Structure 1
Amino acid sequence: MIELRDITKSFGDKEILKGVSAVMESGKVNLIIGSSGSGKTVMMKCIVGLMEVGSGKILYDKQDFTAMDHHAKKIVRQKIGMLFQGSALFDSMTVEQNVMFPLEMFGDGTLRDKKKRVAECLERVQLKDAAKKFPAEISGGMKKRVGIARAIVLNPKYLFCDEPNSGLDPQTSLLIDKLIKELTVEYDITTVINTHDMNTVMESGDHIVYMYQGQKQWEGSNKDIVFSKDQKLNDFIFASEFLREAKEMRQLDMFKDNAWKEQLQAQLKRDEKK
């Protein structure tokens, strides 16, 4: 679990994060969404330690990451896997060598053990036959899967994904979403995704934080979002007429579920109190 407690971040006189508090839950896909300039990218960079917060705390499993020294932070970072927006593969290395890279930097064991682990990860993302290929020889979706294999090769407790579906066609995007979701549940990872992709929001969003002008505007699940009355959130998520109609259809389908009716009533009561 990762917990943010009232974190702030400014660049000069410009305040980017304005007292954000949230919890990223283990075994779930946690999404950070929001329009450009909302602060979501800065928030992710603060969580992984690429930027220091101005004030507040970031806790990894109840340990204050913001108060740690360099050595302690390094230990935490070794438990983090990162999937970059552009995959960030080394062009001069094969797929196998790219996935091997974190093991060469931080892993223990023999070369044989490392190669075995690489093979396991490539098989898990269905790229076993691409091990000897170079990044220029594979598709964009395959590069993303190589990036995922590299991100999980050290058995991370935390997985961060920056726009994992950027530049991919809809069908490939669905496959990447499904793979990340499966790995999150399978290894009980705390997964945090920074995304603009509405399919990811509606299909994979176990827990969603919507950022608006540097503040947490809304928080809930992909089921909660369908019935949310937050106007700013609705304007962002259901911007087109097609998506608004899709929302209404999803509401009708979900309302047939008696168990969900009870959850909806509880959510509406919480919204009224806010």
Structure 2
Amino acid sequence: MIELQNIKKGFGDKEILKGVSAVMESGKVNLIIGASGSGKTVMMKCIVGLIKVDSGAIRYDNQDFTAMDDREKKEIRQQIGMLFQGSALFDSMTVEQNVMFPLEMFGTGTLKEKKKRVEECLERVQLKDAAKKFPAEISGGMKKRVGIARAIVLNPRYLFCDEPNSGLDPQTSLLIDQLIKELTVEYNITTVINTHDMNTVMESGDHIVYMYQGQKQWEGSNKDIVFSKDQKLNDFIFASEFLREAKEMRQLDMFKDKNWRDQLGKPGNQ
């Protein structure tokens, strides 16, 4: 897991993160959501070490990442997979070569072993037949899947995704969400996703952190969010009349589930 302990970050006289604490759990899809300017992007950059926090601690499985030297941080970073918003593939490389890139940089083993690992990852994202194609020859959804294959090729313990559904049609977005969810559970990865996609929130959000003006405003699951009384959260998630009606329908469906009703009635779930 990844634990944030009262992290703060500012630029000049502007305070961006105002003492955020949260736990990103392993084997679950952890979402960071919030409006533009809420601090979610800065928070993700702090977690992976692209930005240094002003105070507080970030712990990877109880190891204080913020207190590590460069060598120790490199060891943690080798356990991290990244899926970038625009896929960030190398145009001059084939799909196979793009997925091979992290293995060439950090991997060990023979060329034959590396190629076998690349083939396994491409097969897992159903792109084995596209191995020799260049990024310009495949669709946006396929590029995202190549990005996922590259992100998991080193068997990461942590996976970070920045707007994984950006620029994709709704059907392809669902497929990407499902794939990330399956890989998270299959490999027991701590997955952290920065997203605006409400379908991702409602379908994949095992654990959600809602950021508002640099602070953690709300924390819970996609089931909790349906019954949340936090007005700022509801205004953000269920902004349109259509989404408000969808929320009411989801509430009715969930109330039919006795196990969920019993859970909702427990202390602390009011």
* TM interval, short-chain normalised: over 0.9
Q: Match for residue 256 of structure 2? A: 256
| 1:173 pairs with 2:161 | no
Q: Match for residue 135 of structure 2? A: 135
What is the SS of the residue equivalent to 1:10? strand
Q: Match for residue 240 of structure 1? A: 240
Distance 2:263 2:8 in 1: 33
Q: Deviations over 1:11-34 (max 9, x none)?
A: 000000000000000000000000
Question: In the alignment, residue 128 of structure 1 is paired with which amino acid?
Answer: K
Question: In the alignment, residue 140 of structure 1 is paired with which amino acid?
Answer: G
| 1:79 pairs with 2:41 | no
Distance 1:270 1:12 in 2: 39
Q: TM-score, normalised by structure 2?
A: 0.99
Deviation at 1:265, TM superposition (A): 2.1
What is the SS of the residue equivalent to 2:268? helix
Distance 1:271 1:120 in 2: 42
Q: Is the 8 A contact 1:6 1:20 kept in 2?
A: yes
Question: In the alignment, residue 215 of structure 2 is paired with which amino acid?
Answer: Q
Distance 2:180 2:211 in 1: 22
Question: In the alignment, residue 147 of structure 2 is paired with which amino acid?
Answer: G
Q: Deviations over 1:29-74 (max 9, x none)?
A: 0000000000000000000000000100000000000000000000
Deviation at 1:271, TM superposition (A): 6.4
Distance 1:265 1:243 in 2: 25
Distance 1:195 1:169 in 2: 15
Question: In the alignment, residue 157 of structure 2 is paired with which amino acid?
Answer: K
Question: In the alignment, residue 144 of structure 1 is paired with which amino acid?
Answer: K
What is the SS of the residue equivalent to 1:270? coil
Question: In the alignment, residue 268 of structure 2 is paired with which amino acid?
Answer: R
What is the SS of the residue equivalent to 2:81? strand
Q: Match for residue 117 of structure 1? A: 117
Q: Is the 8 A contact 1:227 1:264 kept in 2?
A: no
Matches within 5 A, 1:1-274: 1-266=1-266, 269-270=267-268
Deviation at 1:264, TM superposition (A): 1.6
Q: Is the 8 A contact 1:7 1:56 kept in 2?
A: yes
Question: In the alignment, residue 242 of structure 1 is paired with which amino acid?
Answer: F
Question: In the alignment, residue 198 of structure 1 is paired with which amino acid?
Answer: M
What is the SS of the residue equivalent to 1:142? helix
Distance 2:86 2:50 in 1: 18
Distance 1:180 1:48 in 2: 19
Q: Is the 8 A contact 2:117 2:153 kept in 1?
A: yes
Deviation at 1:262, TM superposition (A): 1.7
Q: Deviations over 1:175-197 (max 9, x none)?
A: 00000000000000000000000
Q: Deviations over 1:97-126 (max 9, x none)?
A: 000000000000000000000000000000
Distance 2:243 2:27 in 1: 29
Distance 2:234 2:115 in 1: 47
Q: Is the 8 A contact 1:202 1:222 kept in 2?
A: yes
Q: Report how many residues are paired.
A: 270
Question: In the alignment, residue 224 of structure 2 is paired with which amino acid?
Answer: D
Q: Is the 8 A contact 2:263 2:269 kept in 1?
A: no
Distance 1:37 1:11 in 2: 13
Distance 2:77 2:196 in 1: 25
Q: Deviations over 1:199-235 (max 9, x none)?
A: 0000000000000000000000000000000000000
